[in-house]
Structure 1
């Protein structure tokens, strides 16, 4: 039995993108703090990889960039 199109709901792909898409001198995006390589690979990453980046790696990068 196959699912009808009306009952199939694809899962949303998580993304840290906030629409400020500009690579800074350090090679990281000004908005989401991902590298160009991470941005390019994002769609092919598994959910666990994306969650690790969003929960651990990107917040640490953001904290290093904050003045203070």
Structure 2
């Protein structure tokens, strides 16, 4: 899912650094060592947070593009 969502962002003009800068990326990278088996539900929470951050990034991008076209 991260690959697919990242690809979407890249296709609309974001750069890799924009994606790496998302707060949730560090949590995703540490999932294997930071979440015990009994707390696997936390992975779903991280997924939801990732989707929210990507949505917010797209909204910001869209607003910036709209503003740019008005200038």
Larger radius of gyration: 1
Structure with greater helix share of residues: 2
TM-score scaled by length of structure 1: 0.45
- TM-score, scaled relative to structure 2: 0.44
Which protein has greater RCO, CA pairs closer than 8 Å, 6+ apart? 2
